[in-house]
Amino acid sequence: MLKKFLVVIFLMIFAVSGVFAATTTKKKKPYVTKIIEVTTKDSHIMKAKLMYPRTPKGVKGKTYPTVVFLHSLGYSSSQWGSLPDTFLKQGYAVLLVDLRGHGLSNKDAKLRMKSWTYFTPKVYKRYPSDVLAIINQTKHTTKKASFNEYAIIGGDIGANTGVLAAQFLYPKPKAMVLLTPAREIKGLNIFDYKLGNTPILVMCSRRDKTSVCEEVMLKTFAKGQFVINNTDLNTNGMMILKLDTQCRNKTIQFINQNMPVKK
């Protein structure tokens, strides 16, 4: 009798543990996430988040065109809203960079806080090389994110940083979206930039007459397609895409057209 009782107890425990295991088994997320970290030559710790679709089993050599996000001054890579997720769902990889002094890129190698609010123009001029270091580290980390097929989206200082970094990238970006760029921001001068025939989409607020004039001046340096799509909202930089649905959709369409995902 005792033996039967123990068998029943054992079977009950086994059944309950099986149900518990089934309910606690985690389903794999559809996207792979990697934290990219690099220490610059001047001992600043740069961080970015790379995400790309999970490759189906049995598929080898799959790569994803990459969209690089460079945020606005005073913001971080976590403030792009749902736009990165939209590109992920379409089959792109996204590289969300925290610029020096922002977000997770706010410490040096000795873990001392370094905020953008105290930077001099000399420090801001390191932004393009910071981004190049992140991209190079990403290439070493995985082959899934393609930098033969990539685009850059940047807000104000992120826009200027992207333009300057692209001068040293080969091949050139398939597309660039520049949000409230200027010929010069914090010492980052992009006049007379050389991007070949890279298609460029530029946006700013129509109420910001200075930025509108800057767009006109930058257009004189463009050799390829140069599209202006301004917003009526009183906003600037990366907030244009967060607050203006039409501009957000135009950005997605522009990337899709110039760097389509191969099915």
Q: Buried b / exposed e across 73-110, counting CB within 10 Å, b at 16+?
A: bebbbebbeebbebbbebebbbbbbbbbbbbbbbeeee
207 located within any domain: yes
Q: Could you tell me which residues are beta bridge partners of residue 145? A: 64
Q: Read off the amino acid at residue 211.
A: S
Q: Where do we find the tokens 């033969």?
A: 148
CATH label of the domain that carries residue 241: 3.40.50.1820
Which H or E run includes 203?
Answer: strand 200-203
Q: What are 174-219's pLDDT values in tens digits? A: 999 999 999 999 999 998 888 889 999 999 999 999 999 999 999 9
119 located within any domain: yes
Domain that includes residue 193, residue range = 27-56+64-258
Residue 230's closest CA among 162, 178, 168? 178
Across the chain, which distance is largest between two alpha carbons, in Å? 94
The total number of structural domains that make up the chain? 1
Q: Is the pTM of this model over 0.85?
A: yes
Q: Could you tell me which residues are beta bridge partners of residue 174? A: none
Q: Could you tell me which residues are beta bridge partners of residue 228? A: 202
22 located within any domain: no
Distance from C-alpha of 155 to C-alpha of 171, rounded to nearest angstrom: 22
First-to-last CA distance in the chain? 64
Q: What are 206-263's pLDDT values in tens digits? A: 999 999 999 999 998 888 999 999 999 999 999 999 999 999 999 999 999 999 998 7
